Chains A and B, each alone.
Chain A
Amino acid sequence: MARIYAGLTASHVPAIGAAIDLGKTREPYWRPVFEGFEFTKHWIQQQPPDVIVLVYNDHASAFSMEIIPTFALGCADRFEPADEGWGPRPVPTVMGHSELAAHIAQSVILDEFDLTIVNKMEVDHGLTVPLSLVFGQPSEWPCRVIPLPVNVVQYPPPTGRRCFNFGRAIARAIASYPEDLRVMVWGTGGMSHQLQGKRAGLINQAFDNHFLDSIGPHPEALTGITHLEYLRESGSEGIELVMWLIMRGAMSERVRVLHRFYHVPASNTALGHLLLENEV
């Protein structure tokens, strides 16, 4: 049986990818960001996943204005890094797990989560930056990755509660897959940031820290945060945090927080990172 054993959250700031790709990780500005992931880098070598279900959002790379799926699932065998306007990131091709992805898609749709099946897609920094933060610069990624893009670009994204319940459906799907697989679910994006308008640069450390403190022990309380509250309190792009609730919904009711990291700023963004383990 496939089994979710751990979950992880991480911001996916594009400048972090650039810092890695350009060899700037030891510069004073970036060093604290990468030190915040050292614990997880060591932990994951001891506890490697077979498959990661990676929740992220596409940033006008694979999806333009032509088609905007609210929830999608990458069901292909491989996903190439996208050219986001300055050439693709020099990172390995992302190898999918089409058998498990097909099983998840069939299971969650019958479970009333009507996601979009994507069989051809490039993946942008939203997906590859968290992989780089945790795995560094390998010649190939050490496990399979099933991309799960969520629309948070055009308002409205799915509600936090919907995301949490979708996570639960993903957990049911994975638990009913017959092969023995160790699965992690990652929720990426956030934390508070605003990239547009005269309020650009907004950071709300109190909101972020409350979110970080609550998502392990009291995720249900976070599912009640309205879109207005995200937009107002965490900035117009902070609403990406709904994606963390998919990860949390996929985890057990009780989790252990193995690692917590928070840092301001990473470019325009408050960076948050958690590593969670299911209590059995």
Chain B
Amino acid sequence: MDEQHDYDDIPGTTVFDAERARRGYHLNMFCMSLMKAENRAAFKANEAEFLQRFPMTPEQRQAVLDRDWNRMIELGGNIYFLAKLFSTDGKSFQYTAAQMTGLSQEQYAQMMLAGGRPIEGNRTKSEWKDRG
């Protein structure tokens, strides 16, 4: 059963708490394995086969294959571990952040140069209710 937390009300934010860490353990340990060059090579050679080495859920494996970053986070992935995966792809934090926010990398970079995403209007889910 999912426990309720005060931080659940922050929009567009998934807090990597103990329960998510538990669910995401093998997903994150798969990412950690990509710290080794031989594992990166094996993963690139056959992604689906490499993923079978880790007792992840089918949903987690599919999210990795789809590079669906928000879904990976929903399924217990943590951004610092997922960084090993997008680094293996030759992508940056900024590229991945743009993907997660639905912006192009150029739009995202411009938003940061203009001072970042403002806090106003981004504190509570009620402020995002019209965003779907």
Chain A interfacial positions (CB closer than 8 Å to B): 14-15, 59-61, 64-66, 83-86, 153-156, 192, 194-207, 227-228, 231-233, 236-237, 264-265, 267-268, 270
Contact = CB atoms under 8 A, between A and B. Distances in A.
Contact of A198 (B6, B12, B18, B78): B12
A199 B70 contact: no
A60 B93 contact: no
B116 interface: yes
Given A153-B78, A155-B15, A202 B116 contact: yes
Chain B interface bracket (under 10, 10 to 19, 20 to 34, 35 or more): 35 or more
B52 interface: no
B101 A200 contact: yes
B97 A60 contact: no
A60 B80 contact: yes
B25 A65 contact: yes
A contacts with B: majority SS: loop
Interface of B: 6-7, 10-18, 21, 25, 28-29, 31-32, 34-35, 69-70, 73, 78-81, 83-84, 87-88, 92-94, 97, 100-102, 108, 111-113, 115-119, 122-124
B50 to A, nearest CB: 16
A83 B88 CA distance: 13
B13 A194 contact: yes
B32 A64 contact: yes
Contact of B84 (A85, A198, A232): A85
B17 A154 contact: yes
A74 to B, nearest CB: 19
12 contacts: A65-B21, A85-B83, A155-B16, A196-B69, A199-B11, A200-B100, A203-B115, A204-B119, A231-B10, A236-B10, A264-B112, A268-B94
A59 B25 CA distance: 16
Contact of B13 (A61, A84, A199): A199
The 6 closest A-B pairs by CB, nearest first: A203-B116, A199-B12, A198-B12, A85-B87, A200-B97, A265-B112
A231 B122 contact: no
A65 B16 CA distance: 12
The listed residue with most A CB atoms (<10 A of its CB), out of B13, B21, B111, is: B13
B10 to A, nearest CB: 5
A202 B93 CA distance: 14
